[in-house]
Structure 1
């Protein structure tokens, strides 16, 4: 039986020899449109070597890997400065959902093309008035003679312009969790309009998606009607397996920051103390992540909410330290571009994948047994 460390050695050897498509770099969870050719070529190599969709069962094209091996894979690809897959949504989020809630025909149709990288998926959950509060989703799917008709608006959709399919959370019943259902949406269907959202760093990884009388067949429904909340919770829980890879990026950012501050003559005693504090916090994050993996924690466990808060707020504070250390002029300089990008997106980390406030609510209720917060009526 292969051990975690033998898997790490095997993976490092493969990563050191695998040819890199032109322009490939570690673009994070989702490639830009301009990175798609290299991203698909890289994912095809991962699939051919058996590294795509590692945790999936063998019968669905995966390797049946453990949580520890998946975490090692995320960490080692970060060290190698390559993406761990085409994008996060298909392999890490949609695949496990379809295996648990999807019908056999859905699994047969969609899963092989996620493994191969032929189809990229996006997540159609957040809305302008329902980001962290997914129970407030207003996009509505109504029954028709031949299936469903969907109307609504989604926002912060990563990769929406490049994706072939989206996993949609829509309201099919009354208010609250029980009125939600999940669907497969072809992103080229009539009535689907994708508009890029330009970020502060100049990229457009996010999109607004408008759904106007989008017609879906009956077989677009994932699971049962009213089961959307369970689908959403499983989806969000699986986003957090890459926290060890985040620590790799943080160590790299701290090294880049120290070098840039030294070049500018701004690495005094106070700055060194700040960097040391952030370095220690990053090591604590990585060690806590390793302990959670060793103890067999699953992605939906509350321990991953602890890690999510730690990772998000450390990343944010690294960005803030960079601005204080290098000055605002660094944000408009073409020098140290990767470092500047990290500084600009630091605050976004406390929102992505569930806000820090939401994670603290989870910890208060599930670990400390505190009562739920009062819910405002709409």
Structure 2
């Protein structure tokens, strides 16, 4: 892998000596409410050491890191068992969007608190009737003499219960892409109600968000009216950058599965074959990721759609293998049993971050040249 070995060595050395805030663990792209305090303290340490928001320009506190350097950092954090950043949305989605489309005041006011971990952001995109098809967003922002009035509902909003700001996609015009605009939403405004959604594994990373007559100032608009689709497409894909680092966790999971099965006398030929297939899948994922990173492929490119499909199917296969290894113990184990938790979380993998169906459409249309998906 064409990664600067000196940079990787620097990261590894820092991670060895960096103190861990109490309760810190690798919680993935989104902290639970219980993880927020430790995650925020960890982001502050990353910022002080120059490892926060690596891809940001230097004049905004980043390192203008290459895709390969960002990937190396993600992998080394996974190996060390720590998150690569406080949360996905602020550094990877909202920050770059504000730099590309935001006003000077928005950039000067909002970027630095993202980098230091002071502000947690959420992404107010998906709705009950508009998840994969964001062009169908119905939340509406109506212009007034004093700004905008927003009414609507969002769902699957990661981190909304603890967020200070939201990146909102709302309809300001007619149907379709051209009628959408993007806004900065302070999450403490009157009219905003956040309801946590309890997941199968007992966590509440996702939320419903209701916006009832929420008043936004004129300065809340990002870019110009009608530019929301450009803003939305600019935010998608970056979470897939860390897919290769997921291979670290998957390999650890296969070790846990093998140990659990052996201790229960369940490591038979069928399970051995399944673990072998999954092991090959993990290395296929990692090799494909390394190739995409080495070629400098941007995280929103089609290569990362391939990675997303491989990652989710492999993750789900590993979840099923864990339950096979546990046998009847899997039916009576508590939710904090790692193999049970992994199986429960695996069910969401083909949906979050862009469904597998959408990824296959992207590959079929952009790579294979197949006809576009018919529009209803």
The Cα of 1:36 is off from its aligned counterpart by: 1.3
Matched residue, 2:162: 162
| Alignment partners' CA distance in 1, 2:274 and 2:227 | 47
**3-state SS of paired residue (1:348):** coil
Determine if the alignment matches structure 1 residue 108 to structure 2 residue 108.
Answer: yes
Matched residue, 1:293: 293
Matched residue, 2:16: 16
> Is the Cα–Cα contact under 8 Å of residues 165 and 186 in structure 1 kept in the other structure?
yes
Structure 2 matches for 1:122-133, cutoff 5 A? 122-133=122-133
| Alignment partners' CA distance in 2, 1:139 and 1:323 | 41
Structure 2 matches for 1:191-270, cutoff 5 A? 191-270=191-270
* TM score, norm. by length of structure 1: 0.97
Classify 1:37/1:321 alpha carbon distance in 2 versus 1 (closer, same or farther; 3 Å).
same
**3-state SS of paired residue (1:150):** strand
| Alignment partners' CA distance in 1, 2:60 and 2:335 | 45
| Alignment partners' CA distance in 2, 1:216 and 1:5 | 47
> Is the Cα–Cα contact under 8 Å of residues 258 and 325 in structure 2 kept in the other structure?
no
| Alignment partners' CA distance in 2, 1:302 and 1:38 | 35
Which structure 2 residue ranges, 5 or more long, are not aligned?
Answer: none
> Is the Cα–Cα contact under 8 Å of residues 323 and 339 in structure 2 kept in the other structure?
no
Classify 1:374/1:335 alpha carbon distance in 2 versus 1 (closer, same or farther; 3 Å).
closer
**3-state SS of paired residue (1:253):** helix
> Is the Cα–Cα contact under 8 Å of residues 25 and 82 in structure 1 kept in the other structure?
yes
Provide, for residues 152-199 of structure 1, a one-character-per-residue CA deviation record: whole Å limited to 9, x for no partner: 000001100001000011111111111111111111110000001000
The Cα of 1:3 is off from its aligned counterpart by: 5.8
| Alignment partners' CA distance in 2, 1:78 and 1:276 | 22
| Alignment partners' CA distance in 2, 1:5 and 1:61 | 23
Classify 1:96/1:156 alpha carbon distance in 2 versus 1 (closer, same or farther; 3 Å).
same
The Cα of 1:316 is off from its aligned counterpart by: 1.2
**3-state SS of paired residue (2:138):** coil
The Cα of 1:335 is off from its aligned counterpart by: 8.7
The Cα of 1:105 is off from its aligned counterpart by: 1.0
Provide, for residues 3-36 of structure 1, a one-character-per-residue CA deviation record: whole Å limited to 9, x for no partner: 6211111100000000011111001111111121
Matched residue, 1:46: 46
| Alignment partners' CA distance in 1, 2:273 and 2:195 | 43
| Alignment partners' CA distance in 2, 1:210 and 1:328 | 41
The Cα of 1:218 is off from its aligned counterpart by: 0.8
The Cα of 1:301 is off from its aligned counterpart by: 1.1
| Alignment partners' CA distance in 2, 1:127 and 1:33 | 22
The Cα of 1:296 is off from its aligned counterpart by: 1.1
Matched residue, 2:333: 333
| Alignment partners' CA distance in 1, 2:143 and 2:277 | 56
| Alignment partners' CA distance in 1, 2:296 and 2:42 | 30
> Is the Cα–Cα contact under 8 Å of residues 350 and 356 in structure 2 kept in the other structure?
yes
**3-state SS of paired residue (1:287):** helix
Determine if the alignment matches structure 1 residue 97 to structure 2 residue 97.
Answer: yes
**3-state SS of paired residue (1:153):** strand
* TM score, norm. by length of structure 2: 0.97
Give the length in aligned residue pairs: 375
**3-state SS of paired residue (2:349):** helix
Matched residue, 2:370: 370
C-alpha RMSD of matched pairs (Å): 1.3
The Cα of 1:336 is off from its aligned counterpart by: 6.9
Which structure 1 residue ranges, 5 or more long, are not aligned?
Answer: none
**3-state SS of paired residue (1:350):** coil
**3-state SS of paired residue (2:282):** helix
> Is the Cα–Cα contact under 8 Å of residues 260 and 336 in structure 1 kept in the other structure?
no
Matched residue, 1:307: 307
**3-state SS of paired residue (2:213):** strand
